[in-house]
Structure 1
Amino acid sequence: MDKIIIQDLHVQAVIGVNPNERIIKQNIIMTITSYRDLSKCGSTDNVAYTISYSSLSKSLCSYAESSHHYTLEALATGVAKICCLGFGIEKVKVLIQKPGAIKLAKWPGVEIVRTLDFFKSNSYVEIPSSNKQISAPPSNETGSSKEGLNIVYLAFGSNMGDKYENIVKSFEILKEKVNILETSFMYESGAQYFLEQDSFFNCVCKGSTDLKPQELLVFIKSIEEKMGRDFKMFKNGPRIIDIDIIYYNSQILKIETLEIPHPLMWERDFVLIPLCDIAPNFMHPTLHITSNRMKMNLKPSSIQKIFRIGKINWRWNKKTFIMGILNVTPDSFVDGGKYDSVQKSLDQATKLITQGSDIIDIGGQSTYPGAAQITIQEEIDRVVPVIKKIREKYPDIPISIDTYNHQVAKEAILAGCNLINDVSGAMKDPNMFLIAKEYKTPIILNHQQPTTQYLQQKQNEQNVNANTNQSSQKIDLSNPSVITTLNNFFKERIETATKLGLYRWQLILDPGLGFYKTYEQSIEIIKKGKDLISLGFPVLIGPSRKGFIAQTIAKYDESSNGEVPPPNSERRLYGTVACCCIAASWGVNIVRIHDINQIKDSLLISDSIYKNQQ
């Protein structure tokens, strides 16, 4: 396999067991060898099929310099974990050397080899990191996998009982003999062929297996039988689970019991639309057209995406959902210190629910840039009692936990939380993805990386404060576009999440309004959000009373003399209303806000115009 080598990264880190070594940083040399198939990058000259050496180096240096390990072995393991979980590297060799540690030798060192599978199967390896990840290149849609296994596409449907749980359960059984590589979104479709029955939930998955076609058919029929499907039911009647083989590599097969490709796939929106989520360019081996071309030939469809939260199914095309904010923190910029007891928090949750919140977002650690950091245990102690009390009074209301620590997320889920809202996009703690996978919990991925323009603006402000020549410093707000930055970030996060085993329907994207962005960039996100939803994933925005709203008002209201409205002013509320309505026009799915009554009424009008209210 090809190699990417980053040799002799020099960093300073706290490493060692001696008292002086716990105080003074020492010189460390790291050499990283990443194993990656580079043939596609070499033939296309496309950086999407390699790894950003610069981003990887910066992440590893940042991790090493902020760590406090006792052994080189632990440091090497942490570095390997960043490479595998953060950057999607399948295999890595890490050499850590410590110059000057032994008088009679040049220096001691530790070399380890780790794989992505090792960290996926050994989630107990608790080595936190803060990193930026570059995804692995997308795998081919057709043909067999590089391990010699067969690539298969399977369609799933259920219209009896808990349809969502039926499909998820069938996935778990499927994993016994099929490695699930990727899934579509979850959809709801009306009954076809026999119309007098309930609607179906549908999805498609891509997998790899060593089973032959007939063996695969026997296996999926055994899954249907195990789950209680009634094979005596008339054709196209209700079923607890239905699994069809759509493609098996690019093979053409027609025998009495099995036909591949599936003979009716071309007319089924509940197959083609999910299939195009993961294989839009797969060439049908007999029709010689792509999945996407077949989808374009369909009649207008009423099929819609489904989002499962707790035991509730949200239909994205019906309304803009409202996430009510409940901060149990002393220092949040709007409501810090207001809900400093469990009873006060419960009262506020009741108010949010009564006013129309679809979900309550609970945070115990302030996440605005520069906020004071508390310990993980302090954060758990703040949020878990509140979650338990709300869940006790409101068994069905969806609850999300606003945290970037996987230990906090785990305890919150065990207390009754249904959704992870990770402001770091699982960058600060890669184990967050593993928690979402283990508990099958959806996760919001927030963009919190400083943009080039933001960093340049901060440098300009420092220069002005230092009485430097302001005219010599110019901010380029046109390149790169913040939308381009966000799309690249989200594509990388999605690749990593799905590679680790999360289902596509578990992911929600948050562009991170106000997080390390200039106010012009936040306005651009509100203006051009349609380019974000083009990725196909649900989008959440959190504009509530944020600084970019106040700065925009101060800039364009000549009568304000540049005065910035404070967080609790009505002017910021009206600005928030405007942002939410504009976002509703391009299809935002969730708004995270403080002022439920006012925003709810404005969204009722917006949704009556822009959403399907049937």
Structure 2
Amino acid sequence: MSDEARSLIIGVLNVTPDSFSDGGTFLDPEKAVAHAWDLVNEGADVIDIGAESTRPGSAAVDADEEWRRLEPVLAALADQKPKARISLDTYKPMTMRRALDYPVDIINDISGIADRLTLETLAKRGLTYWAMHMHRDPAQMHKDPLDAAEALRAVAVFYESTQKTLMDLGFTKDRIWLDPGVGFGKTDRANVQVIGQALAESVHYEIILGVSRKSFIGRLLGITDPKERDAPSKMLELSFLLAGVRGIRTHDVARLKKLRDLVVE
């Protein structure tokens, strides 16, 4: 079955010392590359590599440090050529441009949208762009989160305006994926409701969703260890598969692949 006929499984690879679920585990480039292959072998269609934690309250890192963490992993994967697309999780234009020398197919931008020149360059090079809605920035977003009504309005406007802007800059509709930003500056009620909104909007937009191990699941279900949130994450992810969203970001690729095999013939 073609990629266009199914939800893509996006395996998360954090090359960071401080990500909420696995910070430091894959900071070493050799371990990061080995985990990328594990994700591919488990069934990931895309490996989403990030070198800066964006958990609530996290501190930013500069572009040079971000690239220092990323470059050896990208170089190794360029040589080894795994059968998966590579996504780069960054909001920094300098990092996006540096990545053009490597086999990066997708930019995953949590800031929502980069500068015009960078976006025009990405569009001309044929990259896919994932734009995410975020209220404030990671260091501040948890201090004054949007309630449900505010979040639903803001995300609806974000979908429409972002797609229009990116198409005006040269991206085709199929290369614009929109993420409502579950857990990024929203209350727990808002997180649940923007998920429902995203599932409904998946008939109009290419929607990407990521809920894997997120803290709102822990708060709602009383699960403190992020890795113990995999099972409830899967139940949400199953609903995403059934709705036909374009992509699902997950830490637990193997079990999501099993669920997709049940949903998609």
TM-score, length basis structure 1: 0.40
Contact 2:147 2:190 in 1 (8 A): no
Q: Secondary structure at the match of 1:401?
A: strand
Match of 2:221 in 1: 553
2 CA distance for matches of 1:509 and 1:459? 23
Partner of 2:8: 321
Q: C-alpha displacement at 1:358, in angstroms?
A: 0.6
2:208 aligned with 1:540:
yes
Q: Does 1:573 align with 2:230?
A: yes
Residue 334 of structure 1, CA deviation:
0.8
1:424 aligned onto 2:93 = no
2:171 aligned counterpart, secondary structure? coil
- 1:401 correspondence with 2:60: no
Whether the 8 Å contact between 1:483 and 1:532 is mirrored in structure 2 is: no
Q: Is the 8 A contact 1:406 1:435 kept in 2?
A: no
Matched-pair contact (CA < 8 Å) for 2:144–2:185 = no
Once superposed, what is the RMSD of the aligned Cα atoms?
A: 2.3
Partner of 1:483: 152
* Residues 112-144 of structure 1, C-alpha deviations (whole Å, 9 max, x = no match): xxxxxxxxxxxxxxxxxxxxxxxxxxxxxxxxx
Match of 1:444 in 2: 130
Q: Is the 8 A contact 2:116 2:169 kept in 1?
A: no
Aligned 8 A contact 1:327 1:364 in 2 = yes
Equivalent residue letter for 1:359? V
| Counterpart-to-counterpart distance in 1, 2:70 and 2:110 | 16
**Corresponding residue for 1:60?**
none
Q: CA deviation at 1:325?
A: 0.7
In structure 2, the partner of 1:602 is 259
Give deviations 1:447-473, integer Å, cap 9, x for gaps: 1125xxx98x9469xxxxxxxxxxxxx
Q: SS at the partner of 1:366?
A: coil
After superposition, the Cα gap between the structure-2 partners of 1:374 and 1:530, relative to the gap in structure 1 and judged at 3 Å, is: closer
Distance in 1, matches of 2:165 and 2:246, equals 23
Give secondary structure in 1 for the equivalent of 2:122: helix
1:513 and 1:522 in contact (8 A); partners too: yes
- C-alpha displacement at 1:600, in angstroms? 1.6
1:340 corresponds to: 27
Post-superposition shift, 1:505? 2.3
Name the count of aligned residue pairs: 262
Q: CA deviation at 1:395?
A: 5.1
| Cα distance in 1 for residues equivalent to 2:147 and 2:113 | 29
Are 1:360 and 2:29 matched, yes or no?
no
Deviations 1:275-331 (A, max 9, x none): xxxxxxxxxxxxxxxxxxxxxxxxxxxxxxxxxxxxxx95432x2211111111101
Structure 1 residues 586, 395: closer, same or farther in 2, change over 3 A? closer
C-alpha separation in 2, matches of 1:335 and 1:431? 34
Deviations 1:478-513 (A, max 9, x none): x34x33321211211112112222222220111111
- Secondary structure (helix, strand or coil) at the match of 1:603 reads helix
Alignment match, 1:267: none
After superposition, the Cα gap between the structure-2 partners of 1:567 and 1:431, relative to the gap in structure 1 and judged at 3 Å, is farther
**In the aligned structure 1, how far is the partner of 2:117 from the partner of 2:221?**
40
Q: Which of the pair has more CA radius of gyration?
A: 1
Matched position secondary structure for 2:241: helix
Instruction: Identify, as 1 or 2, the structure richer in helix.
Output: 2
Flag the 1:315–1:602 CA change in 2: closer, same or farther, 3 A: closer
Any residues of structure 2 matched to 1:132-147 within 5 Å, and which? none
In 1, are the aligned partners of 2:183 and 2:191 still within 8 Å (CA)?
yes
Aligned to 2:194: 525
**Contact 1:580/1:603, CA 8 A, preserved across alignment:** no
Whether 1:502 and 2:189 are equivalent positions in the alignment is: no
* Partner SS state of residue 529, structure 1: helix
Aligned to 1:435: 121
Higher strand share: 1
Amino acid at match of 2:196: K
| Corresponding residue SS for 1:540 | strand
Q: Percent identity of the aligned residues?
A: 29
CA distance in 2, matches of 1:509, 1:386: 26
User: Against the structure 1 CA distance between its residues 421 and 490, is the aligned structure 2 distance closer, same or farther, given a 3 Å change threshold?
Assistant: same
Give the superposition deviation at 1:436: 1.5
Distance 2:38 2:162 in 1: 35
Q: Which has the higher contact order (CA 8 A, sep 6+)?
A: 2
Cα 1:500/1:339, change in 2 over 3 Å: same
Provide the C-alpha distance between the structure 2 equivalents of 1:514 and 1:355, rounded to a whole number of angstroms.
26
In the other structure, the counterpart of 1:223 is none
Deviation per CA, 1:78-98: give whole Å up to 9, x if none.
xxxxxxxxxxxxxxxxxxxxx
Distance 1:412 1:476, change over 3 A: closer
Unpaired runs of at least 5, structure 1:
1-312, 461-474, 555-563
Q: Give the Cα–Cα distance (whole angstroms) in 2 for the partners of residues 459 and 382 of structure 1.
A: 31
1: CA distance, partners of 2:134 / 2:55? 10
1:32 equivalent in structure 2: none
Shift in alpha-carbon separation, 1:567–1:346, aligned structure 2, 3 A = same
C-alpha distance in 2 between matches for 1:448 and 1:325: 19
Offset, 1:336 = 0.8
Per the normalisation by structure 2, the TM-score is 0.90
Is the contact made by 2:180 and 2:195 (CA closer than 8 Å) also made in structure 1?
no
